[in-house]
């Protein structure tokens, strides 16, 4: 008759079980919660999963049972699953990163005063970047400290539109963003060779975005705008994970077909639990020189349609923030790196964008309402 197995023997068997995703022994990853060995040789193993509903749970359960059953003297093996606490998960992450704690994203901290807006659209070419840079310029002109992240890997155009031709400087492990028109700008385009198209898959993009947010020295920003790639892809989910407080701005044209795609881009926030700040309709109409007539080149009503549909889907009032008319000078300004809101603040398109900016952010913050990190002294 074989004797009861020892904890050591069981632990040794458990060290042969690898987490299927991390590919390291579960004993190294802090995943073994407990080992109970009864006199009759039955063994109960407690296992911490890294996340609740881990898709690999079945596999881990099976591998652990198999490994433990092989130990001499074990009559039966059972597994009890538990889930790591936030603390344990952080510890694991630090361990996986070779002992280095993750750099913080300042905008994700609960006491951050920076308003973050992610500008999204269903399709490309609707003026997402043009709206982003003009909003940024309007906000800067209104006295806010503004930063822009160009996260549109397929069509990064923000640096050109803002005339930010400099490259970021690296100081130690910090990246200093170039500035144009008082706006700090960082773009995926600054990290790629020449004008090569980038084939970036989800994880790389996530990593790049994380770096833009944690390694770039933004200073004390009032507003951060992010120009997202068109569509409802991975990046929207990355933004939600990295910056849960970011609000989405959806840009669309008046066309109904464009509106439907734009709505899908906004509806993803139902899953990511982000707020939608509102919808901007761009290229709404054209007013020929010397006339007051509004010519609706691209149809009508798309912006309102998206706002209404999102209101229904999300169960919250989503406003149409404004309708920006077509203006050739807006395009020219983009080509020259001089946003129209700065070169001609009186243009109708500029006025619309400036008023959207004001409504989104309000007045520049003074000391009132600011957390100074001190407590009042008692008298």
Ligand X SMILES: Nc1ncnc2c1ncn2[C@@H]1O[C@H](COP(=O)(O)OP(=O)(O)O)[C@@H](O)[C@H]1O
The binding site for ATP comprises 122-129
Question: Using the rule CB under 6 A, is 269 a contact of ligand X?
Answer: no
Structure tokens that stand for 224 in this block? 């951060």
For ligand X, the binding residue among 14, 84, 126, 190 (CB under 6 A) is 126
For ligand X, the binding residue among 153, 330, 357, 360 (CB under 6 A) is 330
Question: Using the rule CB under 5 A, is 323 a contact of Mg ion?
Answer: no
CA dihedral 202, 204, 209, 213 (to 10 degrees): 140
- Give the Cα-Cα-Cα angle 44, 48, 50 (nearest 5 degrees): 155
31 or 320: CB nearest ligand X: 320
Structure tokens that stand for 133 in this block? 């840079």
For Mg ion, the binding residue among 9, 129, 255, 350 (CB under 5 A) is 129
Closest approach of ligand X to the CB of residue 134, in Å? 9
Question: Using the rule CB under 6 A, is 354 a contact of ligand X?
Answer: no
Structure tokens that stand for 73 in this block? 């003297």
The residue behind tokens 């632990």 is 11
Total residues belonging to the chain? 379
Question: Using the rule CB under 6 A, is 130 a contact of ligand X?
Answer: yes
Structure tokens that stand for 328 in this block? 């050739």
The residues that bridge with 37 in the sheet, in sequence order, are 43
46 or 286: CB nearest ligand X: 286
- Taking a C-beta distance cutoff of 8 angstroms, is the pair 232, 261 a contact? no
- Of 49-57, 61-69, 118-126, 232-240, the segment contacting ligand X by CB under 6 A is 118-126
Question: Using the rule CB under 6 A, is 303 a contact of ligand X?
Answer: no
Question: Using the rule CB under 5 A, is 154 a contact of Mg ion?
Answer: no
According to DSSP, residue 356 is labeled: H
Question: Using the rule CB under 6 A, is 135 a contact of ligand X?
Answer: no
Q: x/- contact string, 151-190, with ligand X (CB under 6 A)?
A: ----x-x---------------------------------
Q: Are strands 247-252 and 183-187 parallel, antiparallel or unpaired?
A: unpaired
Closest approach of ligand X to the CB of residue 94, in Å? 38
CA distance 13 to 105: 40
According to DSSP, residue 200 is labeled: -
- Of 18-26, 169-177, 238-246, 324-332, the segment contacting ligand X by CB under 6 A is 324-332
Closest approach of ligand X to the CB of residue 294, in Å? 13
In the list ligand X, Mg ion, none, the entry touching 327 (Cβ below 5 to 8 angstroms by class) is: ligand X
For ligand X, the binding residue among 31, 248, 309, 324 (CB under 6 A) is 324
CA dihedral 71, 74, 76, 79 (to 10 degrees): -60
In the list Mg ion, ligand X, none, the entry touching 326 (Cβ below 5 to 8 angstroms by class) is: ligand X
State the number of binding residues for ligand X (CB under 6 A). 19
Interacting residues of 45 by C-beta distance below 8 A, sequence separation 6+: 10, 14, 32, 34, 35, 36, 64, 68, 77, 78, 79, 80
For ligand X, the binding residue among 20, 55, 125, 203 (CB under 6 A) is 125
State the number of binding residues for Mg ion (CB under 5 A). 4
83 or 286: CB nearest ligand X: 286
Closest by CA to 254, choosing from 313, 298, 319, is 298
Q: How many CB atoms lie within 10 A of CB 97?
A: 10
- Taking a C-beta distance cutoff of 8 angstroms, is the pair 180, 164 a contact? yes
How many angstroms separate the Cα of 68 from the Cα of each of 22, 60, 64, 77?
Answer: 21, 12, 6, 6
3 or 195: CB nearest Mg ion: 195
Question: Using the rule CB under 5 A, is 155 a contact of Mg ion?
Answer: yes
Residues that bind Mg ion (CB under 5 A): 129, 152, 155, 157
Residues that bind ligand X (CB under 6 A): 121, 124-130, 155, 157, 282-283, 324, 326-327, 330-331, 334, 349
């Amino acid at each position: 008759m074989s004797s009861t197995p020892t904890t050591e023997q069981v632990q040794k068997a458990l060290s042969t079980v690898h987490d299927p995703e991390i590919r390291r022994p579960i004993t190294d990853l802090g995943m073994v919660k407990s080992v109970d060995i009864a006199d009759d040789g039955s063994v109960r193993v407690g296992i911490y999963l890294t996340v609740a509903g881990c898709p690999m749970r079945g596999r881990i359960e099976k591998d652990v049972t198999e490994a433990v059953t092989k130990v001499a003297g074990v009559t039966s093996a059972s597994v009890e699953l538990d889930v790591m606490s936030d603390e344990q998960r952080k510890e694991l992450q630090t361990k996986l990163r070779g002992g280095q704690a993750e750099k913080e994203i300042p905008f994700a901290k609960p006491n951050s005063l920076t308003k973050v807006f992610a500008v999204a659209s269903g399709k490309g070419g609707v003026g997402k970047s043009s709206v982003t840079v003009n909003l940024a310029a309007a906000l800067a002109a209104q006295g806010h400290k503004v930063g822009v992240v160009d996260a549109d890997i397929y069509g990064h155009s923000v640096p050109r539109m803002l005339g930010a031709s400099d490259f970021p400087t690296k100081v130690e492990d910090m990246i200093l963003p170039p500035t144009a028109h008082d706006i700090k700008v960082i773009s995926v385009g600054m990290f790629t060779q020449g004008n090569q198209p980038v084939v970036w898959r989800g994880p790389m993009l996530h990593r790049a975005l994380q770096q833009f947010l944690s390694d770039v020295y933004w200073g004390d920003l009032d507003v951060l705008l992010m120009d997202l790639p068109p569509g409802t892809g991975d990046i929207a989910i990355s933004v939600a994970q990295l910056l849960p407080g970011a609000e989405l701005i959806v840009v669309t044209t008046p066309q109904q077909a464009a509106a439907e795609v734009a709505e899908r881009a906004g509806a993803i926030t139902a899953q990511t639990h982000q707020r939608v700040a509102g919808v901007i309709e761009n290229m709404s109409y054209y007013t020929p020189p010397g006339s007051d007539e509004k010519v609706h080149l691209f149809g009508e009503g798309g912006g309102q349609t998206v706002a209404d549909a999102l209101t229904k889907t999300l169960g919250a009032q989503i406003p149409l923030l404004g309708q920006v008319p077509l203006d050739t000078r807006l395009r020219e300004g983009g080509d020259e790196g001089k946003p129209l809101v700065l070169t001609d603040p009186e243009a109708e398109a500029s006025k619309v964008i400036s008023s959207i900016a004001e409504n989104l952010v309000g007045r520049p913050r003074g000391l009132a309402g600011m957390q100074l990190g001190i407590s009042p002294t008692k008298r």
